[in-house]
Chains A and B, each alone.
Chain A
């Protein structure tokens, strides 16, 4: 069965420090992996995706994610966090049946 795990409900990081939001997945076949961000009372916004090719994917707002096939991980990263990055982050995987599976979300708080 396809699934996505975000092991941390909450991540706190100081402004200017690097941030990592973790995601691991389980999917049969080659995965399509996604990161979305949700601000309060808003819908999800697409950040980036991995299809194939380079394991390091760059996305919106300075975010990037590293695909690691051996560890089945797709961690979201940013070299220098901003207060405005504080939001809820969702990892997702798409299977060949066209359904998307979302993690439970990680709440990121960037402390000024």
Chain B
């Protein structure tokens, strides 16, 4: 059973370009979370999705950022018109259920560098 997959592992973009980050949850998991980690900081929650639904996007900037988790395929975190401040590690995590005490399983992260 493969773990949570994220790609690309490293992404370099110039200011103004778009960044698309992909996350495939563990098999059987239908709940996905996206986090951002800045150097010397902890994890900042961005968005929580189930298949075809955004459940909680309270941590995601309202402009330039969007996320989806289609019925088929990976979850996508999209950042339009990237700026240098978007440079960070972005982690995806998945869980089996929507409640209870299930722990999250994390992917290896995508490290975005904006030049």
Contacts and interface: CB of A to CB of B under 8 A. Distances in A.
Contacts, number: 57
B104 A51 contact: no
A43 B108 contact: yes
Interface string A3-40: 00000000000000000000000000000101010000
Interface stretch (A62-70, A77-85, A91-99): A91-99
Interface residues on B, range: 20 to 34
Interface residues on A, range: 20 to 34
B43 A46 contact: no
A54 to B, nearest CB: 14
Interface of A: 32, 34, 36, 41-46, 49, 51, 90, 94, 96-105
Interface of B: 4, 6, 31, 33, 35, 41-43, 45, 48, 55-56, 91, 93, 98-101, 103-109, 111
